[in-house]
Structure 1
């Protein structure tokens, strides 16, 4: 399950000399870990860029949550959507009224194209999430998440690849669309069968990626 919104880092574009004055117009806001920052119907029409930290973007339907993406530094998102935005850790956001961003985009086509590409990635990500929820069971979705995080942030050693999730079991369950108990049971089985090894709190080693992937399909 791919979780990152886009491979494009908007901060890199905004730090270019031609955009420096515009970058200075954003307001920097800090939020604490686990805080629900934005919800559907937020009173202000804003856009924000993640400067530091990670957030979870998700939909809530009755008592269920469906994660859409993990927002990381350089990602952009508006506050006026049906999605909730939750801080997974301490975060710093760069915030601006949507109208001001639109006005700047109208006169700066290069930046406009970059933002449109990021939003296109979000649409593609949404369809990927739907496909995963419909066609893959929970064990496969959980394995996909581990594999993705390993490829993005993993550190190889002589015994495999180590990945640090920095997520509680509850947060991990929400990302893969399962209950906390189900995720805990599957992770325990992975540890028992040796395809996953726990190093420290929230830190794991996958000895063999191919074996781990095949295990999820059994």
Structure 2
């Protein structure tokens, strides 16, 4: 899920925000490492410079994906979520107190943070609704559809390519199912010509509307 249409990094390049930019420190995270976890006690704000970062909740060996942060997205480490680098990632980070002091007079940064948290809340309700009222196939199609519409790359032939960077087991956790069930459902979608899997973590959707019709996806 891409949380912001604009790139917050471009905003921070403006001369009037040089002081705010100066307190943000570069941190590198290797693929699979955690930027933050529940109980870490840190109170930081960070902006993604490069890479893809997953935000999720974890409970009793189940994972509930809340979104994927990419270049220019902003987030906070004290939200009680797991934040994990899906790829090697670089973030600009500072503590919340310093960030708050420097961002006074910059309403665009404040609005960006509110939009991110609002989207997290919306996604949380979507997860609850899906687990309560939809079957596994519908939840899987909804996951693929959401990634395609918010983060996919449209190709000349009308198909959409998405890079999820998750194993089948991880995808199964996201949709509240088992690896075996999700693997079978993905194979069914491939046989039906609704998706293609050119390589691990990458999906090609020839006709997004046709895929969504199978899963009963309702666009918000």
Deviation at 1:147, TM superposition (A): 2.2
> Counterparts in 2 of 1:11-160, with a 5 A limit?
11-151=9-149, 152-158=151-157, 160=159
Q: Distance in 1 between matches of 2:118 and 2:35?
A: 23
Deviation track 1:97-140 (CA, whole Å, cap 9, x = no partner) reads: 11011112334334323333332333223223322332322211
What 5-or-longer segments of structure 2 have no aligned partner?
Answer: none
2:159 and 2:205 in contact (8 A); partners too: yes
1:27 and 1:95 in contact (8 A); partners too: yes
1:203 is aligned to 202
> Counterparts in 2 of 1:3-18, with a 5 A limit?
3-18=1-16
Q: Distance in 1 between matches of 2:179 and 2:32?
A: 16
Deviation at 1:96, TM superposition (A): 0.2
Aligned with 1:195: secondary structure?
coil
TM-score of the aligned structures, taking structure 1 as reference length: 0.86
What 5-or-longer segments of structure 1 have no aligned partner?
Answer: none
Q: Distance in 1 between matches of 2:158 and 2:112?
A: 40
User: CA, structure 1 residues 10+125, in 2 after alignment: closer, same or farther (shift >3 Å)?
Assistant: farther
Deviation at 1:31, TM superposition (A): 0.8
Aligned with 1:194: secondary structure?
coil
Q: Structure 1 residues 132-141 or 57-66, which shifts more?
A: 132-141
Deviation track 1:36-80 (CA, whole Å, cap 9, x = no partner) reads: 231111132211111111111111112222111111122222112
1:155 and 1:163 in contact (8 A); partners too: no
Q: Distance in 2 between matches of 1:76 and 1:135?
A: 31
RMSD of aligned Cα (Å) = 2.3
Deviation at 1:188, TM superposition (A): 0.9
User: CA, structure 1 residues 12+156, in 2 after alignment: closer, same or farther (shift >3 Å)?
Assistant: same
Deviation track 1:162-217 (CA, whole Å, cap 9, x = no partner) reads: 33333322332233333222221110111122222232333333222222222224
Q: Structure 1 residues 92-101 or 156-165, which shifts more?
A: 156-165
Aligned with 2:5: secondary structure?
coil
1:183 is aligned to 182
| Aligned length, in residue pairs | 216
2:62 and 2:174 in contact (8 A); partners too: no
Q: Structure 1 residues 163-172 or 71-80, which shifts more?
A: 163-172
1:214 is aligned to 213
